[in-house]
Amino acid sequence: MRYRASLLLAALLCGACARGGEVADLLIVGGVVVDGSGDGPRSGTVVIAGNSIVTVGGAAADGGGVQAFDTIDATGLVVAPGFIDVHNHTPPAIVLPGNHLNEGFIRQGVTTVFGGPDGAFAPAHIRRFSELYATHGIGTNVAFYVGHNGIRNEVMGDDQRRAPTDEELQAMRALVREGMELGAFGLSTGLMYEPGMFSETAEVIALAQEAAAQGGVYDSHVRNPVHDFVGSDREVVEVAEAAGLAGKIGHLKAVGLHNEGVIADIVELVEAARRRGIVIVSDQYPYDGAATASLTGIVVAPPDVEGMDAFRQMARQGRTEAGMAELKAALADPGSRALIRQASENGVDGGFAWLKATGYTSMRITSSPDYPELVGMYLSEIAEQRGQHPFDAVADLLAGASSPVNLTLGAIKEHDVRRLMVQPWNMIASDGGYADGSDAPGGHPRSAGTFPRLLGHYARDEGVLSLQEAVRKITSLPADFHGISDRGRLGAGMRADIAVFDPATITDRSDWDYPQRFADGVVHVLVNGIPVLRDGAMTGAAPGEIVRRESGAGR
């Protein structure tokens, strides 16, 4: 709001500026407009008044005679709608005042993030975050899904490994309605994780019906994407068809050596559903690996193994390396190793474990100072090379490591990444968390690099898709799917969420070793008409809003 006040002051000091033409707050001149529709680039001037676009006109440097208090010269740059990230994990982080600008995503050109994927947020979360955002402001807009896992936790407490009673199901349905009334865009599930993994499809359909009744969509982290890839994605179609709403397969990918090429079957599954009139889409991050962890992060210490209390405590905090001494000692004992292997491969009492969810044929080493020769190899390949059971190979690697051995927990073949990327119904989203721009280890490069990687690496450098199609996948496609009528395109009456970037230099700088590094090439970003990034520098403005569902979402 400080920026808006400065514009008003400029108006008072420059009353003569209004004479001779219409007055606007801001002109963006000289740029190449890629408007989000999928149409080709064109020259044009964007005229902005308040929080909205007045017009996108010809290339005249003066905006066709329009007088403005401020002008951005976009010569040599692309002017596009602000990018919409439909699978984003920063909303809990940006409640903190020091994080509230969401700089890592602003520097990618993102102006709206969807929080609560993977079934995370009950209505109470949406209320709490919204109140905190109002207190200190936010740099990006935030939209929400209401989440199955968050609701199940609230209603069923610690007794989750069963179907809900009729009374519990009615309470869960009421919470979905409540979330939708708060403006959520639909129901999200995280069926691979606890407690969603204990639900039946009928339960999900019942909750999705509540979202459908209010014009919402269904978003799903599917149930068993590695070991039942096609069946898990088919469940999304089943839920969408039975509940009568549009469905989105969250961060779709063909994980693991055994799923190489199966993305072709998923494409046909989606196409067949769409031919029957069921709106099914997907989102994807443009990387050949899923979630990241160190090798210790795939180890589960069961309660019947003594001497591992510190490791368990650190694991709950995501800091498994701090318990390395305990872990190495336990793995050196054959009896303890057998118990740890059982828990790591199957979960404790059937609960979640990464080796259970993805497995040795899906985990690829991304970096290791101790074993550089193994970088790029799958754990299953290392075990085969050594003639060992895979867990014994893991234990031996840990025994000889003096520093973290880092993995992607879901490796993907590059040709499968590209085959999905070009599908017209597939969006690009980050699945990213908060990035601070540092050289600190930990995390996934998607948090700081997703959108510049799409525009730079895949569109410009590799030619996998055109610039205008890449922009469509991160602007109008997600806006149209969710029924957001005033964002996702550049045009008269649309919100002035705008990304201005250099098509020659836009690039991701984050990688597996330095996943927090900010991207390059985004020069200006406007959120609701206010510059939050100007000439590559953050302005300190926090004009983000809660974006709420309109009637008619899920088209």
The domains of the chain, with CATH numbers, are: 1-81+435-510+517-543 (2.30.40.10), 147-249+252-289+412-426 (3.20.20.140), 292-408 (no CATH)
Nearest to 85 by CA among 410, 555, 414, 499: 499
Q: Quickly tell me which residue has 């200006």 as its tokens.
A: 524
pLDDT of 20 over the 90 cut: no
Q: At how many degrees (to 10) do helices 201-213 and 229-243 cross? A: 40
Q: Are strands 498-501 and 78-81 parallel, antiparallel or unpaired?
A: antiparallel
State the average pLDDT over residues 117-140.
97
C-alpha to C-alpha distance for 555 and 549, rounded to whole angstroms: 12
pLDDT of 301 over the 60 cut: yes
Q: Give the model confidence (pLDDT) of 183-239 as tens digits.
A: 999 999 999 999 999 999 999 999 999 999 999 999 999 999 999 999 999 999 999
Q: At how many degrees (to 10) do helices 148-156 and 201-213 cross? A: 110
For 499-534, b/e burial (b = at least 16 CB within 10 A) is bbbbbeebbbbbebebbbbbbbbbbbbbbbbbbbbb
Q: Give the model confidence (pLDDT) of 494-513 as tens digits.
A: 999 999 999 999 999 999 99
Report the pLDDT value the prediction gives residue 550, as an integer from 0 to 100. 82
Residue 463 burial (CB count, 10 A): 8
Q: Which of 240-249, 302-311, 375-384, 466-475 has the lowest average pLDDT?
A: 302-311
Does residue 368 sit in helix, strand or coil?
coil
Q: Give the model confidence (pLDDT) of 96-107 as tens digits.
A: 999 999 999 999
Residue 310 has which token pair?
């510190």
Q: Is 412 exposed, middle or buried (0-12, 13-18, 19+ CB in 10 A)?
A: buried
Q: Give the model confidence (pLDDT) of 39-56 as tens digits.
A: 999 999 999 999 999 999
pLDDT of 123 over the 80 cut: yes
Element (H, E) at 41: none
Report the pLDDT value the prediction gives residue 310, as an integer from 0 to 100. 80
Residue 34 pLDDT class (50, 70, 90 cuts): very high
User: By the 8 A CB rule, do 82 and 526 touch?
Assistant: yes
Report the pLDDT value the prediction gives residue 55, as an integer from 0 to 100. 96
Nearest to 120 by CA among 152, 164, 74, 93: 152
User: By the 8 A CB rule, do 223 and 191 touch?
Assistant: yes
- The residues, ordered by sequence, that sit 6+ positions from 359 with a Cβ below 8 Å of its Cβ are 226, 227, 256, 380
Tell how far CA 311 is from the center of its chain: 30
- The residues, ordered by sequence, that sit 6+ positions from 97 with a Cβ below 8 Å of its Cβ are 136
Report the pLDDT value the prediction gives residue 284, as an integer from 0 to 100. 98
User: By the 8 A CB rule, do 452 and 446 touch?
Assistant: no
- The residues, ordered by sequence, that sit 6+ positions from 455 with a Cβ below 8 Å of its Cβ are 467, 470, 471, 501, 503, 506
Please name the amino acid found at residue 116: G
State the average pLDDT over residues 434-447.
95
CA angle 274, 276, 279 (to 5 degrees): 35
Q: Which pTM does this prediction carry? A: 0.91
Q: Quickly tell me which residue has 């309605």 as its tokens.
A: 177
DSSP 475-544: THHHHHHHT-TTSSS-STTSB--EEEE-TTT-B----SSSTTPPPB-EEEEEETTEEEEETTEE----B-
Report the pLDDT value the prediction gives residue 239, as an integer from 0 to 100. 98
Residue 256 has which token pair?
């693991």
Residue 49 has which token pair?
């008044």
State the average pLDDT over residues 358-366.
96
The torsion of the CA quartet 161, 167, 171, 174, rounded to 10 degrees, works out to 130
Report, in angstroms and rounded to the nearest whole number, the Rg of the chain calculated over CA atoms.
Answer: 24
pLDDT of 61 over the 60 cut: no
Report the pLDDT value the prediction gives residue 332, as an integer from 0 to 100. 95
Does residue 236 sit in helix, strand or coil?
helix
The half-sphere exposure of 52 on its side-chain side, counting CA atoms within 13 A, is: 8
The torsion region of residue 170 among left (phi > 0), alpha (psi -120 to 50) and beta comes to alpha
Nearest to 129 by CA among 1, 174, 138: 138
